[in-house]
């Protein structure tokens, strides 16, 4: 089942005007199809002054004012000019979505039959409803003249830029081909996605106070799936008899579904359509849902086409009220599209030229222009002039008789443009021999010739001071590419009404035979928006005459780099920019290649490009790279080192064999020769590594991944520092973050990039992700070996801060080695991107936002010894900050320590039976505790082998009532606190 029927009304508020249009369904029942109640509720909460009630009050007031409606307009048949935009996928006429004219003609007939009750199945209307059946007296006719005054048959055929279109993409569909909605009823016919049969834009009301508000005229019309246009016995779900267009046209003129998109208590604002609890399917003529017979034959229900046959009198009054009052519906009735283009006795016009823009390398150009006699009388004497950059270059005098509607192509002398520049070529046709042309607005045409610069490869252009030798092609003379500070861009934000407008800029010409493995890259910036601007890059192989090869489109790669803003977006910081790289290997044998960057206005924010490069790709045909370690622990005691190495084929071709070598001080320790697996481009594989215990206590392994590419040995190197580190600590434990003392913590980066460092500004360790450009590079921070043999409960707490940029996403993971520290084989914490973030933004904030995290390590204390590894995987985004990394004895996170500098606090105070200590020391050490009475007599004393941040509770029920002193002694401090016992 491909398509499911049909549309439902949605309220949109845009710039202060009330606008309705219908959306589509992809569900079987009305409840599943229709999100109208939720959408209306949301819109009315946001804009209470712009509600459905307001629109219906407007309709009601217009009806009241039109007291002479039934008599004054009763006999008038209103004509509406329609244009069918057939948006196809390149098929011949009559095949697929490029429908035949006869099919379109039949649809127009059906619309007129249904709206005027001349449909042959009107006799099948149930007797209960025949008396209220109505003819709207509206006639739909093909537009007779196009917006530029040319004769037309009312059908436009355009290859679409998308294979299918959803209702969310209705702006894209309408931009494929559009005639002014004030003059023409646009009907777009395409392959609609999501099971949709069609949709229509609801009419605009001119509510008091909102007359000057803008509205989206560029999508105003009706959209139909091509399979349900006209008669089509093979349409999915039911046989099409063209009633999809009838139904949607009802919405276009203000009719609602007969069940009111709700139920028995919801009105469709037509008194003579019985209430219904829901939509209808099939053709159940006895359906009764609200105490009366449902009007399932109404065109505004969801029944099969063969079942529909009636509009009602109230529906007619509603439609006629809209047509005579809603601005863009009323203007249709007086459109110039209803009239044939004017005909003059003598009227010469220019129709076709080479193209609006022509590119070239040689400078040679053959100008030509086509003229047409659009008048009634033949013409015998006329001339065509050609101007170059405003200066008359050549005049061609003609005495050959040109009959009415006959046309002729005029050829001028060969031009040679020596300088690299853009030239304007202006043509004008004139009647001679004593006669005057009665219409002059079609006598002129303008085109541009661009002689392109030839540049050598490799090539790099930074758009800082100028765009030369690039050329802009501004077909509509509206906003276009312009120079900003250190970039070129297009002011789309300031010109959001120009949906679908395409802006082009042409590169110089390159000889790709001079480069082995070409790669194109460009640096761009754009803020996130609901529909990102479409950006495409086309290649030309004839010096810019034609651009037919699409080498890049952002339909796959999102080109948003920054979070959405409510103003003009201007890139300010490093992360506002990003780079796209495009493999152009297939162009390496082309001699004359230039590129056309086309940015299409989708009503989003401005789009910028700062750099454009074409150079030799770093990507080899065959290359293996070491990506990361897994389960590795570079700290060893008596055992060797083991882990898993992840490798990736980063070349263009498959790899059937490669070698991994492990060296220590240039001595080959181990070699793995792999020739029994095939890695395709981009594929990962894993290799288990087992190394003997190193002879030295501190050192570094060099791991090489070796492939042979075109008799060249390619080596990628990875590093693993190691250290004989068997020093054991008891919990609790905290990373001190003193630059001179890391408390036996160990950090490394396998790529020898800047790893974890201490930030004095934030008193935290930072990953330096913003400075590390290598993809997936890692920073490791490894804790000392913890003796947990006598620990029942153990927890980990730490504070993390990460400002998530729009496009990049760092990852932070914690691994535990529960095998006495041999390898990190258990992942206990993992967050990336949004889940890791404590704030969002491309800029570096002056104030970090912290989040406290807790991880219960109690499940691992049955082991004798454990280690933890904190790992950040970089994305060249923002730094990850950590502080207060603490192992504490307990199963749940401690409450916040009181805002005091004291090393401990005691509570409750006064105490009765139990006394609690909450410790918070900077450095873990042994603690000696005493409880003394006020005369200095020791009442209780005990020693804790290691104190830091514990909770210690002990029984004081044996002590008499009174005041006491708790004293703590360590190697560094002595502290006392008074408390009272009260029975």
Q: Which of 421, 771, 452, 470 is nearest to 612 (CA)?
A: 470
> 379-404: b or e for each residue (b if 16 or more CB lie within 10 Å)?
beebbbbbbbeeeeeeeeebeeebee
Give which of 703, 739, 736 is closest to 721, Cα–Cα.
Answer: 703
**At 62, phi and psi to the nearest 5?**
-65, -40
Give, in order, the Cα–Cα distances in Å from 11 to each of 325, 586, 897.
19, 49, 53
Half-sphere CA count of 314, side-chain side, radius 13 A:
15
Give, to the nearest 10 degrees, the angle between helix 101-115 and helix 243-252: 60
Q: How far apart are CA 131 and CA 454, in angstroms?
A: 77
Residue located via tokens 């890059």: 537
Handedness of CA 767, 768, 770, 776 (dihedral sign): negative
- For 873, the enclosing helix (H) or strand (E) is strand 865-873
For 612, the enclosing helix (H) or strand (E) is strand 607-616
Distance CA 245, CA 225 (A): 9
Residue with tokens 């006799």: 123
Q: Which of 686, 734, 710, 861 is nearest to 789 (CA)?
A: 861
The answer to whether 444 touches 430, Cβ cutoff 8 Å, is no
**Cα-flanking dihedrals φ and ψ of residue 537, to 5°?**
-125, 125
Residues paired with residue 979 on neighbouring β-strands, in sequence order: 964
Longest CA–CA separation in the chain, Å: 132
Closest CA to 143 of 334, 330, 337, 340: 337
**Which distant-in-sequence residues (6+ apart) come within 8 Å of 721 by Cβ?**
634, 698, 699, 700, 701, 748
**Which strands form 502-506's sheet, in the order they lie side by side?**
471-473, 502-506, 594-600, 534-540, 549-553
Q: Angle at the Cα of 898 (from 897 to 904), degrees rounded to 5?
A: 75
978 burial level (CB within 10 Å; 0-12, 13-18, 19+): exposed
What DSSP element (H or E) covers 18?
Answer: strand 17-24
Per-residue tokens: 70: 């039934």
Query: Which residues have a catalytic role annotated?
Result: 248
Interacting residues of 712 by C-beta distance below 8 A, sequence separation 6+: none
Give the whole-angstrom CA distance, residue 98 versus residue 281. 29
Cα–Cα distance for residue pair 437/417, rounded to 1 Å: 33
Which string of b and e fits 748-757 if b means at least 16 CB within 10 Å? bbbbebebbe
Other Cβ atoms within 10 Å of 456 Cβ, number:
10
Task: Calculate the dihedral angle through the C-alpha atoms of 831, 837, 843, 846, rounding to the nearest 10 degrees.
Answer: -120
CA angle 465, 468, 471 (to 5 degrees): 125
* Nearest C-alpha neighbor of 352 from the set 425, 270, 409, 307: 409
Count CB neighbours of 682 within 10 A.
Answer: 10
Query: Coil, strand or helix: which one is 640?
Result: coil
């Amino acid at each position: 089942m491909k398509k499911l029927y049909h549309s439902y009304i949605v309220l949109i508020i845009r710039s202060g005007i009330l606008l309705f249009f219908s959306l589509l369904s992809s569900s079987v029942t009305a409840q599943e199809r229709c999100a109208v109640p939720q959408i209306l509720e949301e819109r009315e909460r946001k804009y209470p002054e712009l509600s459905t009630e307001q629109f219906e009050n407007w309709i009601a007031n217009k009806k009241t004012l039109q007291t002479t409606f039934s008599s004054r307009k009763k006999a008038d048949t209103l004509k509406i000019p329609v244009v069918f935009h057939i948006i196809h996928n390149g098929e011949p006429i009559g095949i697929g979505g490029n429908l035949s004219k006869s099919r379109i003609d039949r649809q127009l007939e059906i619309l007129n039959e249904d709206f005027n009750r001349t449909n042959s199945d009107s006799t099948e209307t149930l007797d209960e409803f025949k008396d209220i059946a109505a003819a709207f007296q509206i006639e739909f006719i093909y537009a007779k003249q196009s917006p530029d005054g040319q004769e037309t048959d009312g059908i436009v055929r355009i290859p679409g830029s998308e294979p299918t279109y959803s209702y969310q993409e209705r702006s894209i569909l309408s931009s494929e081909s559009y005639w002014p909605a004030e003059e023409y009823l646009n009907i777009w016919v395409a392959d609609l996605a999501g099971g949709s049969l069609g949709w229509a834009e609801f009419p605009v009301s001119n509510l008091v106070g909102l007359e000057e508000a803008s509205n989206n005229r560029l999508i105003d019309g009706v959209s139909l799936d091509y399979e349900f246009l006209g008669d089509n016995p093979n349409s999915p779900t039911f046989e099409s008899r063209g009633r999809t267009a009838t139904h949607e046209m009802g919405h276009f003129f203000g009719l609602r579904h007969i069940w009111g998109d709700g139920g028995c208590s919801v009105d469709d604002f037509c008194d003579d359509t019985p209430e219904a609890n829901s939509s209808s399917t099939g053709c159940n003529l006895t359906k009764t849902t609200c105490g009366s017979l449902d009007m399932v034959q109404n065109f505004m229900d969801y029944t099969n086409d063969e079942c529909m046959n009636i509009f009602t009198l109230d529906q007619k009054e509603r439609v006629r009220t809209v047509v005579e009052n809603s601005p863009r519906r009323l203007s249709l009735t007086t459109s110039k599209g209803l009239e044939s283009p004017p005909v003059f006795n003598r009227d010469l016009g220019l129709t076709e030229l080479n193209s609006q823009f022509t590119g070239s390398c040689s400078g040679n150009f053959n100008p030509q222009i086509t003229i047409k006699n659009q008048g009634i009388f033949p013409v015998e004497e006329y001339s065509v002039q050609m101007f170059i950059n405003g200066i008359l270059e050549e005049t061609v005098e003609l005495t050959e008789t040109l009959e009415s509607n006959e046309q002729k192509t005029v050829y001028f002398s060969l031009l040679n443009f020596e300088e690299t520049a853009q030239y304007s070529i202006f043509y004008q046709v004139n009647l001679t021999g004593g006669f005057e042309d009665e219409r002059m607005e079609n006598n002129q045409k303008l085109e541009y010739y661009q002689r392109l610069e030839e540049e050598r490869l490799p090539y790099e252009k930074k758009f800082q001071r100028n765009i030369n030798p690039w050329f802009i092609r501004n077909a509509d003379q509206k906003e276009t590419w312009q120079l900003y500070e250190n970039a070129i861009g297009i002011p789309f934000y300031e010109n959001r009404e120009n949906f679908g407008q395409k802006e082009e800029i042409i590169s110089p010409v390159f000889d790709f035979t001079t480069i082995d493995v070409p790669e194109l890259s460009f640096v761009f910036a754009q803020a996130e928006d609901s529909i990102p601007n479409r950006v495409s890059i086309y290649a030309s192989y004839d010096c810019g005459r034609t651009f037919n090869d699409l080498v890049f489109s952002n339909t796959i790669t999102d080109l948003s780099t920054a979070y959405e803003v409510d103003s003009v977006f201007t890139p300010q910081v490093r992360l506002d920019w990003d780079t796209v790289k495009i493999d152009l290997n297939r162009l390496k044998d082309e001699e004359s290649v230039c590129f056309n960057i086309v940015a299409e206005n989708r009503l989003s924010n401005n789009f910028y490009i700062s750099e454009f490069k074409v150079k030799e790709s770093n990507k080899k045909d065959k290359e293996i790279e070491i990506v990361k370690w897994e389960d590795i622990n570079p700290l060893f005691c008596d055992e060797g080192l083991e882990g898993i190495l992840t490798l990736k084929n980063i070349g263009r071709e498959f790899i059937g064999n490669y070698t991994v070598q492990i060296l220590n001080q240039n001595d080959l320790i181990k070699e793995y020769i792999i020739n029994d697996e095939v890695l395709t481009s981009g594929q990962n594989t894993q290799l288990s590594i087992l190394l003997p215990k190193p002879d030295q206590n501190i050192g570094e392994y060099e791991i090489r991944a070796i492939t042979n590419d075109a008799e060249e040995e390619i080596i990628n190197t990875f590093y693993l520092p190691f250290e004989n580190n068997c020093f054991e600590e008891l919990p609790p434990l905290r990373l001190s973050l003193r630059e001179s003392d890391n408390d036996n913590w160990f950090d490394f980066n396998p790529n020898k990039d800047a790893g974890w460092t201490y930030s004095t500004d934030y008193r935290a360790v930072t990953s330096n992700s913003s400075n590390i450009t290598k993809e997936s590079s890692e920073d490791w921070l490894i804790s000392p070996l913890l003796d947990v043999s006598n620990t029942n409960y153990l927890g980990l707490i730490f504070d993390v801060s990460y400002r998530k940029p729009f496009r990049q996403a760092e990852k932070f993971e914690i691994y535990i080695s529960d095998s006495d520290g041999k390898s990190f084989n258990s992942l206990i914490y993992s967050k990336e991107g949004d889940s890791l973030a404590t704030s969002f933004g491309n800029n570096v904030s002056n104030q970090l936002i912290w989040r406290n995290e807790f991880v219960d390590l109690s499940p691992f204390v049955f082991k004798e010894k454990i280690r933890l590894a904190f790992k950040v995987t970089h994305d060249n985004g923002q730094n990850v900050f950590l502080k207060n990394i603490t192992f504490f004895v307990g199963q749940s996170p401690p409450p916040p320590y009181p805002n005091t500098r004291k090393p401990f606090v005691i509570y409750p105070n006064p105490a009765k039976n139990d006394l609690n200590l909450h410790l918070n020391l900077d450095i873990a050490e042994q603690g000696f505790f005493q409880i003394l009475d006020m005369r200095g007599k020791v009442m209780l004393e005990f020693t804790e082998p290691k104190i830091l941040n514990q909770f210690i509770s002990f029984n004081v029920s044996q002590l008499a009532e009174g005041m006491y002193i708790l004293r703590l002694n360590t190697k560094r401090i002595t502290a006392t606190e008074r408390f009272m016992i009260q029975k």
